[in-house]
Structure 1
Amino acid sequence: MLKCKHVEQRADALVDGERLPFGEHLALRAHLMICRHCRRYLRQLQALVRTLRRSPAPLSDTHTEALVERIVDRQSE
């Protein structure tokens, strides 16, 4: 079974729709089925990505990284 840390590291691939190896994709989905914390993290990441894509003015990479860092920091509290 995967640990939450692995899900956090690969959540961006799920949000971006990246094709993962079947076994990894299955393991990620299985973990998400049983871990409400990771499901919440994934939902928050998806919301952030949607918001950034709708943003009228593109954010710099620095601003984007700062936003993502804040979310990650709050998740680990």
Structure 2
Amino acid sequence: MLKCTEVVQRADALVDGTPLSFAERLALRSHLMLCRHCRRYVRQLKALTEHLREHTLVEPLDDETVNAILAHRDNAN
């Protein structure tokens, strides 16, 4: 049986869909069935990952644009 720290170390693979061996998947699922804290952790990690995917900019902003946004924000306060 995996320990909680081991589940946390492997949770990103589970959330990202990284291929896991049958034994790894079974160990993770077994632990998650018994541990509500790890279930909550994985659920929150999935929610965070989905949120970041939805709200990530397609193209990074250039320095000039970032400075303009920051200046506008500072002037608004």
In the alignment, structure 1 segments of 5+ residues that lack a partner are 61-77
Matched, 1:19 2:27: no
- Rg larger in 1 or in 2? 2
Aligned match of 1:8: 8
The alignment partner of 2:20 has SS state of coil
> In 2, distance between residues paired with 1:25 and 1:43?
16
Following TM superposition, where does structure 1 have runs of at least 4 consecutive aligned residues deviating by more than 3 angstroms? none
Aligned match of 1:73: none
Calculate the aligned-residue CA RMSD, in Å. Answer: 1.5
Task: Quickly say closer, same or farther: Cα 1:56–1:3, change in 2 above 3 A.
Answer: closer
For residues 1-77 of structure 1, the aligned pairs below 5 Å read 1-57=1-57
Task: Quickly say closer, same or farther: Cα 1:4–1:56, change in 2 above 3 A.
Answer: closer
Normalised to the residue count of structure 2, the TM-score between the two structures is 0.72
> In 2, distance between residues paired with 1:23 and 1:50?
26
Corresponding residue pairs, total: 59
In the alignment, structure 2 segments of 5+ residues that lack a partner are 61-77
Tell me by how many angstroms 1:18 deviates.
1.1
Tell me by how many angstroms 1:56 deviates.
4.5
Normalised to the residue count of structure 1, the TM-score between the two structures is 0.72
